[in-house]
Amino acid sequence: MEFLTLEIVDMVKEWLQMENMWGRHSNPKSGWSRMAAGFVAVGALYHRKWNLLGLTLLFLIINPVLFPEPSEELDDWMYKVVRAEERWSNDGHRFIGLGYPQILNTVSIPIGLYGLYAAYKRKPVSAVVFTLASQGLNQWCMKEIIEYYEEVDSKK
């Protein structure tokens, strides 16, 4: 069993190191479906649909390589988000931290975890509010990263 687990871990690492992982993940279908899957996970947890929760988590893991790379640059929010994430990561920046805009992502984590806890405890209003707040903070962080690179590029 341990061998099988290590084999799966190696396979996931290989997927994540694929040269075109960022390209495939930049497909807007990847980002938008990934965001929707987060809400599906909260609903599955709330309704105790463990199979759905498991399938959703599996989808979230394979999502970055599931869709084909777009053939051209797109004017789509999620395309811009993923390309900015790629550039941010390649430039050696972290997504979690106390600096700005990373603090937005950092704060979104406990808020999102509380949203999951609220779903598990079947507190629908808290589950929805905290999940939306977490997603909002994450998207705010991504907006700041996109604007950072737009400013950098405008100075070239």
Per residue in 24-67, pLDDT (tens digit) is 889 999 999 999 999 999 999 999 999 999 999 999 998 988 88
**pLDDT given for residue 66 in this prediction:** 87
Q: Is the peptide bond before 101 cis (omega within 30 degrees of 0)?
A: yes
pLDDT band at 21 (very low <50, low <70, confident <90, very high): confident
Per residue in 133-149, pLDDT (tens digit) is 999 999 999 999 999 99
Average predicted confidence (pLDDT) for the chain: 90
CA distance 80 to 25: 11
Contact 121, 45 (CB under 8 A): no
CA distance 87 to 92: 9
pLDDT band at 127 (very low <50, low <70, confident <90, very high): very high
Domain ranges of the chain: 2-154
